């Protein structure tokens, strides 16, 4: 998103307000400088207010009590579903079909808000304004234009927008900020402590091993990789020697397209395939069989349900990825029962009691034969 965003928002908002009907929204001024007044956007909220400083230094006025929260995208959706599922007024994108096995059905019927940046559609301002949201929360890596983007949205809609920066190293602090924001400090602390515990354990394991040479491969034909030093590669870089060194690492979850010829040149000892990539085909393909990892049987498919454990979007489910990767690659150093750890995560973040049968299905293509016999 570049500087024309505010103009596009003004046009989009004008159209959506005309379509709503029955509301009390005022038409934006010709200059676009006046915020939209709308009861559905939180005008009936408590008169008390406070100032909240978000992760990019924006001071945003918020109601003293937050009961209705909108998300800016799928990454924020995962983070906030763990903390305050009953405060969410909508979702950024539809749940994967696998989510039905883990989540309460009430969350399937939430309105679809769309998302602010990229992905499968733009933020739906009409749905946002009719949702009663008291705040819209963006979580993750701040875009270069984040301040002007959120200021423009806030000015045009009259709804507060905040950004909370979160990486795998800083998600604990992000949860504490979110807990303060939505008035759920105790619940946020439980999630924050968990994230910091899992991350510290992964760092400790990574510091005690000789990291394996590895590629994380995406795309239906297995022609893309998650490149070293990209936002999506954080846990790959932490727990392995990520061979995917490229000139311009992609910021997209699909990674960089490199082709099989380059993958053959890198020749990793281990390969992790993204869900819906080439995992099922490579074992019988002579071209792929030239790779050390394929010939040795050291290739695996990332567990999926209700999200990809390694990212896409790169949200808090990557703590599952840390637990799984460490156990897969360094079982002697990762001295924990993976099922127990995964069940703990599903309880905290999906509010779900994960059964052993569900776990076994999740990791069917994701652990080695020796590991499976060892009862991980």
pLDDT tens digit string along 46-80? 458 999 999 999 999 999 999 999 999 999 999 99
- Measured CA to CA, the distance from residue 148 to residue 202 in angstroms comes to 36
pLDDT over 80 (residue 183): yes
Instruction: Please report, for residues 42, 47, 253, the alpha-carbon distance to residue 132 in angstroms, rounded to integers and kept in the order given.
Output: 5, 15, 31
CB 66, CB 183: distance < 8 Å? yes
5-165, CATH topology level: Rossmann fold (3.40.50)
- Measured CA to CA, the distance from residue 340 to residue 350 in angstroms comes to 15
- Measured CA to CA, the distance from residue 84 to residue 107 in angstroms comes to 12
Helix, strand, coil % in the chain, rounded to nearest 5: 45, 15, 45
**What are the φ and ψ backbone dihedral angles of 307, each rounded to 5 degrees?**
-130, 160
pLDDT over 50 (residue 6): no
Q: Where are the domains of the chain?
A: 5-165, 210-373
- Measured CA to CA, the distance from residue 291 to residue 260 in angstroms comes to 10
Instruction: Please report, for residues 24, 235, 253, the alpha-carbon distance to residue 311 in angstroms, rounded to integers and kept in the order given.
Output: 41, 9, 8
pLDDT over 90 (residue 153): yes
pLDDT above 70 coverage of the chain, percent:
84
* Average pLDDT over every residue of 287-299: 97
Helix, strand or coil, per DSSP, at residue 162: strand
Decide if 5-165 and 210-373 have a common fold.
Answer: yes
The reported pTM is: 0.83
pLDDT above 90 coverage of the chain, percent:
75
CB 228, CB 235: distance < 8 Å? no
* Average pLDDT over every residue of 302-329: 94
Assigned superfamily of 210-373:
Nitrogenase molybdenum iron protein domain (3.40.50.1980)
Residue 170: partners with Cβ closer than 8 Å, 6 or more residues away: none
- Measured CA to CA, the distance from residue 344 to residue 156 in angstroms comes to 42
- Measured CA to CA, the distance from residue 73 to residue 93 in angstroms comes to 7
Instruction: Please report, for residues 85, 140, 217, 221, 299, the alpha-carbon distance to residue 283 in angstroms, rounded to integers and kept in the order given.
Output: 41, 36, 15, 13, 9
pLDDT tens digit string along 101-125? 999 888 877 899 999 886 555 889 9
19: its two tokens = 């379509």
Residue 162: partners with Cβ closer than 8 Å, 6 or more residues away: 52, 54, 58, 60, 62, 135, 136, 137, 138, 150, 181
Residue 306, preceding bond cis, omega within 30 degrees? Answer: yes
Local confidence band at 15 (pLDDT 50, 70, 90 cut-offs): very low
Count how many Cα atoms sit within 13 Å of the Cα of residue 260 in the half-sphere of its side chain.
Answer: 13
Average pLDDT, the chain: 86
Local confidence band at 248 (pLDDT 50, 70, 90 cut-offs): very high
């Amino acid at each position: 998103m570049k500087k024309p965003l505010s103009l596009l928002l003004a046009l989009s908002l004008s159209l959506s307000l005309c379509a709503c009907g029955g509301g009390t929204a005022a038409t934006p001024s010709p200059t676009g400088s006046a915020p939209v007044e709308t009861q559905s956007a939180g005008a009936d909220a408590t008169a008390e207010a406070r100032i909240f400083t978000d992760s990019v230094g924006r001071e945003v006025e918020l109601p003293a009590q937050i009961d209705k929260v909108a998300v800016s995208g799928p990454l924020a959706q995962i983070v906030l579903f763990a903390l305050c599922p009953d405060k969410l007024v909508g979702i950024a994108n539809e749940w994967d079909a696998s989510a039905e096995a883990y989540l309460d059905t009430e969350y399937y019927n939430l309105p679809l808000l769309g998302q602010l940046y990229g992905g499968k559609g733009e933020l739906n301002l009409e749905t946002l304004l009719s949702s009663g949201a008291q705040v819209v929360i963006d979580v993750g890596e701040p875009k270069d234009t984040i301040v002007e983007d959120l200021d423009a949205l806030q000015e045009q809609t009259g709804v507060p927008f905040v950004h909370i920066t979160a990486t795998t190293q800083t998600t604990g602090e992000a949860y504490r900020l979110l807990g303060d924001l939505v008035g759920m400090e105790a619940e946020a602390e439980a999630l924050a402590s968990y994230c910091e515990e899992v991350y510290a354990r992964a760092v400790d394991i990574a510091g005690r091993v000789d990291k394996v040479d590895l590629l994380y491969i995406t795309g239906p034909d297995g022609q893309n990789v998650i490149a070293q030093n990209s936002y999506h590669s954080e846990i790959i870089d932490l727990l392995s020697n990520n061979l995917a060194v490229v000139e311009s690492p992609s910021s997209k979850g699909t990674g960089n397209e490199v082709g099989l010829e380059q993958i053959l040149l890198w020749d990793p000892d281990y390969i992790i395939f993204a869900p819906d990539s080439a995992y099922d085909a490579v074992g019988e393909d002579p071209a792929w069989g030239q790779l050390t990892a394929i010939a040795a049987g050291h290739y695996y498919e990332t567990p999926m349900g209700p999200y990809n454990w390694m990212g896409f979007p790169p949200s808090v489910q990557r703590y599952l990825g840390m637990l799984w990767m460490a156990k897969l690659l360094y079982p002697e150093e990762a001295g924990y029962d993976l099922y127990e750890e995964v069940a703990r995560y599903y309880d905290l973040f999906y509010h779900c009691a994960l059964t052993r049968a569900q776990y076994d299905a999740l990791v069917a293509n994701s652990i080695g034969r020796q590991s499976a016999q060892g009862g991980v």
